[in-house]
Structure 1
């Protein structure tokens, strides 16, 4: 009978070992799944919020649009000022107009009247020429 009892013990041990092996395998599989999930979440966080993430990319894209608009405005201003410089270099009438506006120059026989500045008006007084 000891042989038969030993074989029962061995078969129980094999069954217990098989069950333990399945449990360990199940726990390892669950742990690996959790680890992969945590790794995926960490990578997703880095993709969205990292140094080169989507939020930074969208911010840089908006900044590029803003700078492009600002550059277009400055180019238009530059073209306007270039035209003004060209007129001042080549048109005597433009030079005279500029001198009258900024330096209050007059022609012979003209009188300039300067009016007081209104409270809502700009600080520079506009001279009035009287021919």
Structure 2
């Protein structure tokens, strides 16, 4: 599935995309993996926090990037993040840190809601 959004954020070293997990719990965007310099077969580890999962390369990692450039995320991890089958997620490649961050869409929606709540009464241009 082509990404819904592709954006390089200025010179920030951030590249953002939107994707969905496939039927086997794998996710990825080849262009993000290429930007990170992550080849198929490379080992990775996954660090899970309440609002994100951070993927980083690690020689001791238990996962391997597949031939499509996808990483697997276990069902239990997806459940902890509140990600259900078919839900879109936001992928952020931090080139400066060499990590891929997976955010549930609810986290991004919350950030947008907070942004607009600070604009109380401002409607010009909307």
- The interval holding the TM-score normalised by the smaller chain is under 0.3
TM-score where L is the length of structure 1: 0.19
Q: Which is richer in helix?
A: 1
Larger radius of gyration: 1
Q: Which is richer in strand?
A: 2
